Structure 1
Amino acid sequence: MAGIENIVFDMGQVLLRFDGMLFSHAFTSSEEDAHALNNALFSNPSWALLDAGVISEDTMLAIARRRLPERLWPSLEDAAANWDLHQPAIDQTNDLARRLHQAGYSLYLLSNAGVRFDRAKGRIPVLPLFSGWVVSAYEHLMKPDPAIYALLCQRYGLDPSSCLFVDDNQDNVEGARKAGMSAYRFTTATDLEVHLGDFGITL
Protein backbone atom coordinates (compact mmCIF):
# COMPACT_ATOMS: atom_id res chain seq x y z
CA MET A 1 0.00 0.00 0.00
CA ALA A 2 1.27 3.46 -0.86
CA GLY A 3 2.27 5.82 1.91
CA ILE A 4 0.44 9.10 2.33
CA GLU A 5 1.47 11.57 -0.36
CA ASN A 6 -1.65 13.73 -0.62
CA ILE A 7 -3.66 15.64 1.99
CA VAL A 8 -7.30 16.28 1.02
CA PHE A 9 -8.96 19.04 3.05
CA ASP A 10 -12.59 19.88 3.56
CA MET A 11 -13.28 23.63 3.39
CA GLY A 12 -16.01 24.69 5.86
CA GLN A 13 -14.89 24.59 9.50
CA VAL A 14 -11.48 23.33 8.39
CA LEU A 15 -9.95 25.98 6.10
CA LEU A 16 -12.72 28.59 6.39
CA ARG A 17 -15.26 29.06 9.17
CA PHE A 18 -18.85 28.20 8.37
CA ASP A 19 -21.01 29.59 11.17
CA GLY A 20 -24.57 30.58 10.35
CA MET A 21 -24.98 32.63 13.51
CA LEU A 22 -21.75 34.52 12.83
CA PHE A 23 -23.03 35.40 9.38
CA SER A 24 -26.54 36.20 10.59
CA HIS A 25 -25.29 38.66 13.22
CA ALA A 26 -23.62 40.62 10.42
CA PHE A 27 -27.01 41.35 8.82
CA THR A 28 -29.32 41.80 11.83
CA SER A 29 -29.44 43.99 14.93
CA SER A 30 -30.79 41.61 17.57
CA GLU A 31 -30.12 38.09 18.81
CA GLU A 32 -33.71 37.10 18.07
CA ASP A 33 -33.50 38.28 14.46
CA ALA A 34 -30.12 36.59 13.99
CA HIS A 35 -31.57 33.27 15.14
CA ALA A 36 -34.54 33.70 12.81
CA LEU A 37 -32.28 34.49 9.85
CA ASN A 38 -29.97 31.59 10.59
CA ASN A 39 -32.88 29.16 10.87
CA ALA A 40 -34.41 30.39 7.63
CA LEU A 41 -31.22 30.39 5.57
CA PHE A 42 -28.03 28.75 6.82
CA SER A 43 -29.63 26.05 9.00
CA ASN A 44 -32.46 25.42 6.55
CA PRO A 45 -32.45 21.77 5.36
CA SER A 46 -32.69 23.09 1.79
CA TRP A 47 -29.17 24.53 2.11
CA ALA A 48 -27.88 21.02 1.35
CA LEU A 49 -29.71 21.17 -1.99
CA LEU A 50 -27.82 24.36 -2.78
CA ASP A 51 -24.53 22.61 -2.03
CA ALA A 52 -25.63 19.70 -4.20
CA GLY A 53 -26.27 22.00 -7.14
CA VAL A 54 -29.92 20.92 -7.21
CA ILE A 55 -31.39 24.39 -6.56
CA SER A 56 -30.21 27.90 -7.41
CA GLU A 57 -29.36 30.68 -5.00
CA ASP A 58 -32.58 32.44 -6.08
CA THR A 59 -34.59 29.35 -5.16
CA MET A 60 -32.84 29.14 -1.79
CA LEU A 61 -33.73 32.78 -1.18
CA ALA A 62 -37.39 32.13 -1.99
CA ILE A 63 -37.48 29.13 0.36
CA ALA A 64 -35.91 31.14 3.17
CA ARG A 65 -38.23 34.11 2.64
CA ARG A 66 -41.23 31.93 3.47
CA ARG A 67 -39.76 31.34 6.95
CA LEU A 68 -39.29 35.00 7.85
CA PRO A 69 -41.51 38.01 8.53
CA GLU A 70 -41.48 40.54 5.71
CA ARG A 71 -39.58 43.08 7.83
CA LEU A 72 -36.55 40.74 7.69
CA TRP A 73 -36.60 40.20 3.95
CA PRO A 74 -34.07 43.00 3.26
CA SER A 75 -31.70 41.42 5.80
CA LEU A 76 -32.25 38.04 4.19
CA GLU A 77 -31.50 39.36 0.72
CA ASP A 78 -28.34 41.08 1.94
CA ALA A 79 -27.24 37.93 3.76
CA ALA A 80 -27.94 35.68 0.79
CA ALA A 81 -25.88 37.94 -1.46
CA ASN A 82 -22.97 38.68 0.86
CA TRP A 83 -22.68 36.13 3.68
CA ASP A 84 -19.43 34.71 2.34
CA LEU A 85 -17.73 38.10 2.72
CA HIS A 86 -17.99 37.49 6.48
CA GLN A 87 -16.37 34.05 6.33
CA PRO A 88 -12.93 34.19 7.97
CA ALA A 89 -10.06 31.85 7.26
CA ILE A 90 -8.96 29.42 9.95
CA ASP A 91 -5.37 30.57 10.07
CA GLN A 92 -3.97 27.63 12.01
CA THR A 93 -5.17 25.08 9.45
CA ASN A 94 -3.95 27.17 6.55
CA ASP A 95 -0.54 27.45 8.22
CA LEU A 96 -0.41 23.68 8.78
CA ALA A 97 -1.37 23.02 5.17
CA ARG A 98 1.41 25.36 4.04
CA ARG A 99 3.95 23.44 6.10
CA LEU A 100 2.68 20.14 4.73
CA HIS A 101 3.19 21.45 1.22
CA GLN A 102 6.69 22.61 2.10
CA ALA A 103 7.38 19.11 3.41
CA GLY A 104 6.52 17.66 0.00
CA TYR A 105 2.88 16.64 0.35
CA SER A 106 0.38 17.56 -2.35
CA LEU A 107 -2.77 19.36 -1.24
CA TYR A 108 -6.34 18.97 -2.55
CA LEU A 109 -9.74 20.29 -1.52
CA LEU A 110 -12.98 18.30 -1.46
CA SER A 111 -15.97 20.29 -0.24
CA ASN A 112 -19.73 20.18 -0.04
CA ALA A 113 -20.26 23.77 -1.14
CA GLY A 114 -22.36 25.83 -3.53
CA VAL A 115 -21.27 27.79 -6.55
CA ARG A 116 -20.31 30.63 -4.19
CA PHE A 117 -17.02 28.71 -3.97
CA ASP A 118 -15.84 30.86 -6.88
CA ARG A 119 -15.74 33.79 -4.45
CA ALA A 120 -14.87 31.88 -1.29
CA LYS A 121 -11.72 30.33 -2.72
CA GLY A 122 -10.08 33.75 -2.81
CA ARG A 123 -10.23 33.88 1.00
CA ILE A 124 -8.40 30.59 1.54
CA PRO A 125 -4.81 31.81 2.03
CA VAL A 126 -3.20 28.49 1.19
CA LEU A 127 -5.33 27.60 -1.84
CA PRO A 128 -2.73 28.72 -4.43
CA LEU A 129 -0.61 25.81 -3.19
CA PHE A 130 -3.36 23.25 -3.86
CA SER A 131 -3.03 20.95 -6.85
CA GLY A 132 -6.78 20.71 -7.39
CA TRP A 133 -10.25 20.69 -5.92
CA VAL A 134 -13.68 19.13 -6.30
CA VAL A 135 -16.78 21.01 -5.12
CA SER A 136 -20.16 19.31 -4.80
CA ALA A 137 -22.37 21.89 -6.52
CA TYR A 138 -20.39 21.62 -9.76
CA GLU A 139 -20.43 17.82 -9.75
CA HIS A 140 -23.96 17.10 -8.44
CA LEU A 141 -22.35 14.70 -5.99
CA MET A 142 -21.94 15.17 -2.25
CA LYS A 143 -19.93 13.70 0.57
CA PRO A 144 -20.26 11.15 2.08
CA ASP A 145 -21.08 9.41 -1.24
CA PRO A 146 -17.88 7.49 -2.04
CA ALA A 147 -18.34 8.51 -5.68
CA ILE A 148 -17.20 12.08 -5.03
CA TYR A 149 -13.96 10.90 -3.41
CA ALA A 150 -13.42 8.58 -6.36
CA LEU A 151 -14.03 11.49 -8.72
CA LEU A 152 -11.29 13.52 -7.05
CA CYS A 153 -8.87 10.64 -7.39
CA GLN A 154 -9.80 9.95 -11.02
CA ARG A 155 -9.56 13.59 -12.02
CA TYR A 156 -6.10 14.09 -10.55
CA GLY A 157 -4.66 10.61 -10.98
CA LEU A 158 -4.46 9.84 -7.26
CA ASP A 159 -4.26 6.44 -5.60
CA PRO A 160 -6.87 6.61 -2.80
CA SER A 161 -4.50 4.78 -0.46
CA SER A 162 -2.01 7.65 -0.87
CA CYS A 163 -4.54 10.20 0.44
CA LEU A 164 -5.38 11.44 3.92
CA PHE A 165 -8.79 13.11 4.01
CA VAL A 166 -9.48 15.70 6.72
CA ASP A 167 -13.07 16.73 7.53
CA ASP A 168 -14.98 17.88 10.61
CA ASN A 169 -17.97 15.64 9.82
CA GLN A 170 -17.72 11.99 10.88
CA ASP A 171 -20.06 10.78 8.11
CA ASN A 172 -17.73 12.38 5.54
CA VAL A 173 -14.75 10.74 7.21
CA GLU A 174 -16.45 7.36 6.91
CA GLY A 175 -17.26 8.06 3.25
CA ALA A 176 -13.58 8.66 2.55
CA ARG A 177 -12.63 5.39 4.22
CA LYS A 178 -15.18 3.52 2.08
CA ALA A 179 -13.51 5.10 -0.95
CA GLY A 180 -10.13 3.69 0.14
CA MET A 181 -8.61 6.78 1.74
CA SER A 182 -7.17 7.24 5.18
CA ALA A 183 -9.28 9.79 7.02
CA TYR A 184 -9.23 11.94 10.13
CA ARG A 185 -12.02 13.84 11.84
CA PHE A 186 -10.89 17.43 12.28
CA THR A 187 -11.36 19.34 15.51
CA THR A 188 -8.41 21.76 15.57
CA ALA A 189 -5.23 22.20 13.56
CA THR A 190 -3.22 21.53 16.71
CA ASP A 191 -4.94 18.19 17.22
CA LEU A 192 -4.51 17.28 13.54
CA GLU A 193 -0.79 18.02 13.69
CA VAL A 194 -0.41 15.84 16.80
CA HIS A 195 -1.98 12.91 14.94
CA LEU A 196 -0.21 13.25 11.59
CA GLY A 197 2.36 10.73 12.75
CA ASP A 198 -0.41 8.14 13.05
CA PHE A 199 -0.52 8.21 9.25
CA GLY A 200 3.24 8.23 8.73
CA ILE A 201 3.28 11.94 7.96
CA THR A 202 6.27 13.95 9.12
CA LEU A 203 6.89 17.68 9.06
Structure 2
Amino acid sequence: MSIAVFDVGNVLIRWDPRFLYRDVFAGDEERMEWFLANVCTHDWNLEMDRGVPYADQVTSLIARHPEWASQIRAFDERWHEMVPHAIEENVALLETLLAREPVYAITNFSREKWAEARERFPVLQRFEGVVVSAHERLVKPDPAIYEVLLERYRLPAGECVFIDDSPANVEGARAVGMRAIHCPLGFDLAPALRAEGFAV
Protein backbone atom coordinates (compact mmCIF):
# COMPACT_ATOMS: atom_id res chain seq x y z
CA MET A 1 0.00 0.00 0.00
CA SER A 2 1.12 3.56 -0.73
CA ILE A 3 -0.10 6.72 1.00
CA ALA A 4 0.52 10.06 -0.74
CA VAL A 5 1.80 12.97 1.37
CA PHE A 6 2.13 16.26 -0.50
CA ASP A 7 4.09 19.41 0.08
CA VAL A 8 2.09 22.48 -1.00
CA GLY A 9 4.30 25.41 -2.07
CA ASN A 10 5.79 24.87 -5.54
CA VAL A 11 4.24 21.41 -5.74
CA LEU A 12 0.52 22.29 -5.73
CA ILE A 13 0.56 26.10 -5.76
CA ARG A 14 3.25 28.31 -7.24
CA TRP A 15 5.10 30.51 -4.76
CA ASP A 16 7.94 32.95 -5.44
CA PRO A 17 8.37 36.45 -3.95
CA ARG A 18 9.81 37.55 -7.31
CA PHE A 19 6.31 37.55 -8.78
CA LEU A 20 5.56 40.44 -6.43
CA TYR A 21 8.92 42.18 -6.21
CA ARG A 22 9.49 42.47 -9.94
CA ASP A 23 6.56 44.86 -9.81
CA VAL A 24 7.68 46.53 -6.57
CA PHE A 25 11.14 47.18 -8.02
CA ALA A 26 9.87 48.02 -11.51
CA GLY A 27 11.85 45.24 -13.13
CA ASP A 28 15.19 46.14 -11.52
CA GLU A 29 16.36 42.54 -11.06
CA GLU A 30 19.63 43.41 -9.34
CA ARG A 31 17.96 45.59 -6.71
CA MET A 32 15.22 43.02 -6.19
CA GLU A 33 17.69 40.18 -5.67
CA TRP A 34 19.71 42.28 -3.22
CA PHE A 35 16.55 43.01 -1.23
CA LEU A 36 15.53 39.35 -1.09
CA ALA A 37 19.04 38.29 -0.08
CA ASN A 38 19.53 40.97 2.55
CA VAL A 39 16.17 42.25 3.83
CA CYS A 40 13.18 39.92 3.29
CA THR A 41 15.40 36.86 3.42
CA HIS A 42 14.64 33.15 3.31
CA ASP A 43 15.53 32.81 6.99
CA TRP A 44 13.29 35.74 7.95
CA ASN A 45 10.37 34.18 6.09
CA LEU A 46 11.10 30.78 7.63
CA GLU A 47 10.45 32.19 11.09
CA MET A 48 6.86 32.96 10.05
CA ASP A 49 6.60 29.38 8.80
CA ARG A 50 7.83 28.41 12.27
CA GLY A 51 4.92 30.27 13.85
CA VAL A 52 6.12 33.83 14.50
CA PRO A 53 3.18 36.12 13.58
CA TYR A 54 3.50 38.13 10.38
CA ALA A 55 2.81 41.37 12.23
CA ASP A 56 5.70 40.76 14.63
CA GLN A 57 8.15 39.83 11.89
CA VAL A 58 7.21 42.80 9.72
CA THR A 59 7.40 45.26 12.62
CA SER A 60 10.80 44.01 13.80
CA LEU A 61 12.25 44.01 10.28
CA ILE A 62 11.05 47.56 9.60
CA ALA A 63 12.71 48.62 12.86
CA ARG A 64 16.00 47.27 11.49
CA HIS A 65 15.49 48.54 7.92
CA PRO A 66 13.18 51.60 8.06
CA GLU A 67 14.31 52.70 4.61
CA TRP A 68 12.60 49.58 3.17
CA ALA A 69 9.36 49.89 5.15
CA SER A 70 6.93 49.89 2.22
CA GLN A 71 8.71 47.03 0.47
CA ILE A 72 8.70 44.97 3.67
CA ARG A 73 4.98 45.61 4.26
CA ALA A 74 4.29 44.38 0.72
CA PHE A 75 5.53 40.92 1.73
CA ASP A 76 2.47 40.72 3.99
CA GLU A 77 -0.09 42.99 2.36
CA ARG A 78 0.50 41.77 -1.21
CA TRP A 79 1.37 38.17 -0.39
CA HIS A 80 -1.27 36.83 -2.79
CA GLU A 81 0.79 38.21 -5.69
CA MET A 82 3.60 35.80 -4.75
CA VAL A 83 1.15 32.92 -5.25
CA PRO A 84 -0.36 33.61 -8.66
CA HIS A 85 -1.86 30.22 -9.51
CA ALA A 86 -2.10 26.52 -8.82
CA ILE A 87 0.25 24.07 -10.54
CA GLU A 88 -2.60 22.56 -12.49
CA GLU A 89 -0.98 19.32 -13.67
CA ASN A 90 -0.09 18.34 -10.10
CA VAL A 91 -3.47 19.44 -8.73
CA ALA A 92 -5.11 17.20 -11.35
CA LEU A 93 -3.07 14.25 -10.05
CA LEU A 94 -4.05 15.17 -6.49
CA GLU A 95 -7.71 15.27 -7.51
CA THR A 96 -7.39 11.78 -9.01
CA LEU A 97 -5.89 10.46 -5.78
CA LEU A 98 -8.45 12.23 -3.57
CA ALA A 99 -11.27 10.54 -5.47
CA ARG A 100 -9.92 7.12 -4.42
CA GLU A 101 -8.05 7.33 -1.14
CA PRO A 102 -6.98 9.51 1.79
CA VAL A 103 -4.18 11.96 0.97
CA TYR A 104 -2.11 13.93 3.49
CA ALA A 105 0.16 16.99 3.46
CA ILE A 106 3.11 18.44 5.33
CA THR A 107 3.79 22.07 4.54
CA ASN A 108 6.02 24.90 5.70
CA PHE A 109 3.47 27.71 5.90
CA SER A 110 2.68 30.64 8.18
CA ARG A 111 -0.56 30.49 10.11
CA GLU A 112 -1.98 33.61 8.43
CA LYS A 113 -1.14 32.72 4.86
CA TRP A 114 -2.20 29.09 5.21
CA ALA A 115 -5.70 30.34 6.05
CA GLU A 116 -5.60 32.60 2.98
CA ALA A 117 -4.28 29.83 0.72
CA ARG A 118 -7.05 27.44 1.78
CA GLU A 119 -9.65 30.04 0.84
CA ARG A 120 -8.06 30.74 -2.54
CA PHE A 121 -7.36 27.10 -3.40
CA PRO A 122 -10.22 24.97 -2.00
CA VAL A 123 -8.48 21.70 -2.93
CA LEU A 124 -6.19 22.38 0.07
CA GLN A 125 -9.22 21.82 2.32
CA ARG A 126 -9.66 18.23 1.14
CA PHE A 127 -6.69 16.46 2.69
CA GLU A 128 -7.41 13.72 5.21
CA GLY A 129 -4.83 15.38 7.43
CA VAL A 130 -2.39 18.28 7.19
CA VAL A 131 0.63 19.18 9.30
CA VAL A 132 1.31 22.93 9.00
CA SER A 133 4.69 24.11 10.27
CA ALA A 134 3.38 27.26 11.99
CA HIS A 135 0.80 25.26 13.92
CA GLU A 136 3.48 22.89 15.21
CA ARG A 137 6.36 25.39 15.54
CA LEU A 138 8.44 22.95 13.52
CA VAL A 139 9.72 23.33 9.97
CA LYS A 140 10.91 20.84 7.37
CA PRO A 141 13.38 19.21 7.15
CA ASP A 142 13.35 18.72 10.93
CA PRO A 143 12.52 15.01 11.36
CA ALA A 144 10.08 15.94 14.14
CA ILE A 145 7.57 17.46 11.72
CA TYR A 146 7.32 14.23 9.74
CA GLU A 147 6.94 12.30 12.98
CA VAL A 148 3.97 14.53 13.88
CA LEU A 149 2.16 13.35 10.75
CA LEU A 150 3.00 9.69 11.30
CA GLU A 151 1.97 9.69 14.97
CA ARG A 152 -1.11 11.91 14.69
CA TYR A 153 -2.66 9.95 11.83
CA ARG A 154 -1.16 6.55 12.74
CA LEU A 155 0.53 6.10 9.39
CA PRO A 156 3.28 3.53 8.76
CA ALA A 157 6.34 5.46 7.57
CA GLY A 158 7.28 2.88 4.96
CA GLU A 159 3.89 3.18 3.26
CA CYS A 160 4.03 6.99 2.98
CA VAL A 161 5.34 8.63 -0.19
CA PHE A 162 6.27 12.26 0.42
CA ILE A 163 6.36 14.66 -2.56
CA ASP A 164 8.37 17.89 -2.20
CA ASP A 165 10.28 20.33 -4.41
CA SER A 166 13.15 20.66 -1.90
CA PRO A 167 15.90 18.00 -1.87
CA ALA A 168 16.54 18.71 1.82
CA ASN A 169 12.88 18.12 2.67
CA VAL A 170 12.86 14.90 0.67
CA GLU A 171 15.88 13.68 2.61
CA GLY A 172 14.17 14.68 5.86
CA ALA A 173 11.26 12.40 5.00
CA ARG A 174 13.56 9.54 4.09
CA ALA A 175 15.41 9.97 7.38
CA VAL A 176 12.26 8.92 9.27
CA GLY A 177 11.61 5.96 6.98
CA MET A 178 9.22 7.50 4.47
CA ARG A 179 9.58 7.00 0.75
CA ALA A 180 9.89 10.26 -1.17
CA ILE A 181 9.78 11.87 -4.60
CA HIS A 182 11.77 14.98 -5.42
CA CYS A 183 9.39 17.12 -7.51
CA PRO A 184 11.07 20.32 -8.72
CA LEU A 185 9.22 22.80 -10.91
CA GLY A 186 8.51 21.28 -14.31
CA PHE A 187 8.87 17.69 -13.07
CA ASP A 188 6.49 15.12 -14.61
CA LEU A 189 5.04 13.73 -11.40
CA ALA A 190 2.66 11.14 -12.86
CA PRO A 191 5.26 8.49 -13.84
CA ALA A 192 6.98 8.85 -10.46
CA LEU A 193 3.66 8.30 -8.67
CA ARG A 194 2.89 5.26 -10.82
CA ALA A 195 6.31 3.84 -9.96
CA GLU A 196 5.33 4.10 -6.30
CA GLY A 197 2.11 2.18 -6.87
CA PHE A 198 -0.46 4.93 -7.40
CA ALA A 199 -3.08 4.59 -10.15
CA VAL A 200 -2.83 7.98 -11.85
- The answer to whether TM tops 0.5 is yes
Q: CA deviation at 1:125?
A: 4.4
Work out whether 1:168 is the aligned partner of 2:160: no
Work out whether residues 141 and 169 of structure 2, in 8 Å CA contact, stay in contact via their aligned partners in 1. Answer: yes
**Per the alignment, do residues 30 and 126 of structure 1 end up closer, same or farther by CA in structure 2, a change over 3 Å counting?**
same
5+ unaligned residues in a row in structure 1: which ranges? none
Alpha-carbon RMSD: 2.3
1:106 matched residue in structure 2: 102
Q: CA deviation at 1:130?
A: 1.3
Q: CA deviation at 1:62?
A: 3.4
| Helix, strand or coil at the partner of 1:141 | coil
| Helix, strand or coil at the partner of 1:45 | helix
Q: Give the distance between the partners of 2:133 and 2:151, measured in 1 at CA.
A: 15
1:93 matched residue in structure 2: 90
**Per the alignment, do residues 193 and 137 of structure 1 end up closer, same or farther by CA in structure 2, a change over 3 Å counting?**
same
Give the percent of matched residue pairs that are identical in Structure 1 and Structure 2.
Answer: 32
Q: CA deviation at 1:128?
A: 3.4
TM-score (norm 1): 0.84
| Helix, strand or coil at the partner of 1:106 | coil
Work out whether 1:155 is the aligned partner of 2:168: no
Q: Give the distance between the partners of 2:42 and 2:182, measured in 1 at CA.
A: 24
Among 70, 75, 80, which residue is 1:74 paired with? 70
| Helix, strand or coil at the partner of 2:43 | coil
**Per the alignment, do residues 79 and 141 of structure 1 end up closer, same or farther by CA in structure 2, a change over 3 Å counting?**
closer
Work out whether 1:177 is the aligned partner of 2:174: yes
Work out whether residues 10 and 185 of structure 2, in 8 Å CA contact, stay in contact via their aligned partners in 1. Answer: no
Work out whether 1:25 is the aligned partner of 2:11: no
Work out whether 1:118 is the aligned partner of 2:115: yes
Number of corresponding residues: 196
Q: CA deviation at 1:134?
A: 0.7
Q: Give the distance between the partners of 1:188 and 1:30, measured in 2 at CA.
A: 23
Q: Deviations over 1:92-146 (max 9, x none)?
A: 11111111222x2321110111112111122334223311211111101111122
Among 120, 129, 133, which residue is 1:132 paired with? 129
5+ unaligned residues in a row in structure 2: which ranges? none
TM-score (norm 2): 0.85
